[in-house]
Structure 1
């Protein structure tokens, strides 16, 4: 996929999210009508439809603010593969609904698959980048947490619900890897965490000083780090980390917007993975997986 122009990356995320939220609201509304005889379930679906419609309206407002320059450049864009995976449950659900073949159990499975996918993690990232533009965006992030909790409780109360949540990787994960994310921008750190937290334990550090403190405390399979941060930058942290464990050079993924020639010469001389900001989510995830799998036996899906 061709990298979008930098000033189009936020539009790429918000425009895609608008489409998904609109599709989700329509699907839930249609499902509520189809299951109208099941009053409790239909009411639950109607609430979902309203919440997704509220998200859609908020993103319309965000799109306007983007054109006014109220949002910073994004560190990511949404790959076509990720878009298709996130949208697939709604496409499948609407097809089954149209053919009158959508059972309640199948619908609950579709809800679990869709709502606990990376779609909502990306929504939170987008809202996080807009948090300075108004308290409505902060409220939306808090509302999404409540939305997810209600979904989890509803799914758990359904037959086979625990197995459904376990399948999404959002419940009772088996921690086979441990990943440190050193990043001073919370929205970026939280989205990277969301990409891998279903399959690994994740620790966050807000700068290089905190990062090196965490490295002294424990072993990490992967260390994802920015470069230009307060207190200690990512390169100084890397050099200090090697005095703790000389093999940690194989565990680093630098994810940075630095353009300084000396930094890029350093990456080349050390032969470490460096991904520029912005990059695609899929490319970042693959780089983390590659380092995790080479660090020691095991898999990171």
Structure 2
């Protein structure tokens, strides 16, 4: 069996974003963990280098060293997770090209640290860009997906929160970095808006909730029947649904929900992989909004924001 040390070394040697550029294949849980192992290895090494660069600034150097230790701890947990979840690889409705949007940040960060040209303000801007981004949304998804595993995986949630809290506390102590703090603490949630996400795969529901949570309050249902029950209790601003599901599929959910409440038919967004003729005919006949999997995190969030701003109640 490969040792944890060997796994960590391979992750570091592979680089933080090896094999991620330009790959539009659907991501699965195992792939998400592998990607994050590389990312955590790269981020930890980068923070350690930055700590040495700013050694004369004890406060900043200490923060960077703590962040590097955090990344190392996350890496250990993820390497351990990666050895246990081979049987859980299921396609998810995002693609690696969306996540790869962080690679330019990593490269620029590395270049400026190596050259010694980065300022404290520039450094913290890079840290914020890395830590409060789709990288960490994917991390949060993996954390949620691993909740059923015993032991160390349950520590990931607290570890990630402490990691972010270190950064926020540093920003609060620096009036000159107020703009970064405001960017961090501002979330584009639309007041009073609520979204119901519907999918029979719990791992997909988890990811969708994380992606959409910045736009509105999010509830989840595992099939059309459960979604219909939820819609009977609350007038949701938007329903984001899979098409093919057991018990009741998305098309039947749409028909029944539309009959239940006027205007609800304009608040559906379907996510589908390879629609057959029946599904395409349904989309055309009802003029419903849909997106093809895998889509990028950015495009899904943009579409949800657009529909929330324009539609319904």
**Shorter chain as normaliser: what TM range?**
0.7 to 0.9
| Residue of 197, 200, 215 corresponding to 1:181 | 197
1:144 aligns to 2:160 (yes or no): yes
Q: Aligned partners of 1:106, 1:263: CA distance in 2, in Å?
A: 49
**1:94 alignment partner in structure 2:** 110
Aligned to 1:205: 220
Compared with structure 1, are the counterparts of its residues 14 and 161 closer, same or farther at alpha carbon in structure 2 (3 Å cutoff)?
A: same
Partner residue, 1:120? 136
Q: Tell me the residue number matched to 1:57.
A: 76
Q: TM-score, normalised by structure 1?
A: 0.77
C-alpha distance in 1 between matches for 2:176 and 2:250 = 45
2:19 matched residue in structure 1: none
Q: Separation in 2 of the partners of 1:87 and 1:144? A: 21
Deviation (angstroms), 1:120: 0.8
Q: Which runs of 5+ in 1 are unaligned?
A: none
1:76 corresponding residue in structure 2: 93
TM-score (norm 2): 0.75
Q: How far apart, CA to CA, are the structure 1 residues paired with 2:68 and 2:194?
A: 37
Task: Give the distance between the partners of 2:268 and 2:312, measured in 1 at CA.
Answer: 14
CA contact (8 A) 2:105 2:130 kept: yes
Please tell me whether the aligned partners of residues 71 and 129 of structure 1 are also in contact (alpha carbons under 8 angstroms): no
Residue 144 of structure 1 and its aligned partner are, at CA, apart by 1.2
2:286 corresponding residue in structure 1: 270
Q: CA deviation at 1:49?
A: 0.3
Partner of 2:186: 171
Q: Does 1:34 align with 2:53?
A: yes
Q: Distance in 1 between matches of 2:246 and 2:161?
A: 30
Classify 1:214/1:133 alpha carbon distance in 2 versus 1 (closer, same or farther; 3 Å). closer
**Alpha carbon RMSD of aligned pairs, Å?**
3.5
Structure 2 stretches lacking a partner, 5+ long: 1-21
Q: How many residues align?
A: 290
The offset of 1:15, in angstroms, is 3.0
Distance change in 2, residues 1:125/1:156 (3 Å): same
